A and B are shown apart, each in its own frame.
Chain A
């Protein structure tokens, strides 16, 4: 069981990186919208896992995307941030329920799932575009990018989520 979990996560890692760099990085919808679907990795990652390993893996995921897209270390910085904040966000969204052993993402309500995903995306995009533009004078540009690209990411992530839903066990 443990092994199959590792295996699934490794496959997910590779597939999400490939999908991100080969398809979504060249989408350029309206000239600037490139959704970042690899955030789904953090959404799907098992809850009761070693936290340090999770942060490490997420850093690696961000760095791999950076290697491909020539974005310095922006993806690494923003992914490691949401990886660290994930337990806090989950406690905020799911309440104390999430502390129980029996808690499964699939058993939460739809609204909770979407809120969780949306918070991950918003924080990720905030960090990403603030660092990318690196100039608070352009705060409107940062907000515009966060809103539009965030929405596109959310929609695509929800589609991905319903396509490849985690088995309800």
Chain B
């Protein structure tokens, strides 16, 4: 017993170091195999507040750009609105609508790491929940991962864990959108079969298989395509519409029918077994 105590006292620094290193490795490796840590993320009170304050200061310089973007988007929406037949019978009851939209502001953005997360200034208080989709006026941005009372973190499409259903506009050829961590302007669309004819410049949009995003939200255009190792599937390099380095306001989309879809799918899976 005496010896054990002596040992602990002699090597206490080493033991402390090993303990702390193991602790941090556990956090890191758990996050590698699954998702961002529930505990270690920037959607907490202190970092959220600090980012919000600094962001208030920095956005002041980008107001002109932000205004221009809004005008641009308003113009596009008005174009759509005026060219549509009058919709008198539009259901006003909001419970019947499939998608609910909320707005948020990016207070922290990163794109230099292999796993990038964006922090926004809306949280549980504004009924933001994990697995809601996040888009900007130009295109898709990511999926909500963690929420706190006032803030939420978004798993950006620039994250090696990101995997989103996408398709070529106007067709029903689905694939998965991933990121190879190399260039923050380019993501990859994989699993498109070889017989599909592709043209450089074609638009890639979100697919209907996702219960997170509505169909046909723009993502980017085809920049380059190659066959993969098996020679039967394409790997497409997609140039993003969004400038991922400069993101201000975002829209958060909630699919009101998602619980129903998930319930149905799990029931079906349960029956099949």
Residues of A within 8 A of B (CB): 18, 21-22, 25-26, 28, 31-34, 51-52, 55-56, 59, 62-63, 66-74, 76-77, 80-81, 83-84, 131-134
Q: Count the B residues whose beta carbon is within 8 Å of the partner chain — how many?
A: 41
Q: Is the CB of A80 within 8 A of B50?
A: no
Nearest first, the 3 A-B pairs at minimum CB distance are: A73-B24, A73-B27, A70-B117
Please tell me if B147 contacts chain A, counting CB pairs below 8 Å.
Answer: no
Q: Is the CB of B36 within 8 A of A59?
A: no
Q: Using A21-B50, A55-B20 as known contacts, say yes or no to A66 and B40 having CB atoms under 8 A apart.
A: yes
Please tell me if B251 contacts chain A, counting CB pairs below 8 Å.
Answer: no
What are 18 sample pairs from A and B whose C-beta atoms fall under 8 A apart? Answer: A18-B50, A21-B47, A34-B112, A51-B13, A56-B20, A59-B24, A62-B24, A63-B24, A63-B40, A68-B47, A68-B51, A70-B36, A70-B40, A70-B110, A72-B31, A72-B40, A73-B25, A131-B25
Q: Is the CB of A28 within 8 A of B111?
A: yes
**Minimum C-beta distance from B33 to chain A (A):** 10
Residues of B within 8 A of A (CB): 12-14, 16-17, 20-21, 23-28, 31-32, 36-37, 40-42, 44, 46-47, 50-51, 54, 108-117, 119, 153, 183-184, 245
Q: Is the CB of A70 within 8 A of B41?
A: yes
Cα separation A159 to B24 with both chains bound (whole Å): 30
**Minimum C-beta distance from A136 to chain B (A):** 14
Give chain A residues whose Cβ lies under 8 Å from the Cβ of B115: 70-72
Q: Using A55-B20, A77-B28 as known contacts, say yes or no to A132 and B50 having CB atoms under 8 A apart.
A: no
**Minimum C-beta distance from A127 to chain B (A):** 9
State the main secondary structure of chain A at its contact with B: helix
Q: Is the CB of B112 within 8 A of A31?
A: yes
Q: Using A67-B46, A70-B41, A77-B28 as known contacts, say yes or no to A133 and B114 having CB atoms under 8 A apart.
A: yes
| B28 in complex: contacting residue of A52, A59, A74, CB < 8 Å | A74
Q: Is the CB of B32 within 8 A of A134?
A: yes
Q: Is the CB of A72 within 8 A of B28?
A: yes
List 13 extra interface pairs beyond A67-B47, A73-B27, A73-B28, CB under 8 A: A32-B112, A67-B40, A67-B42, A68-B108, A70-B41, A70-B116, A71-B115, A72-B37, A73-B37, A74-B28, A80-B20, A131-B25, A131-B28
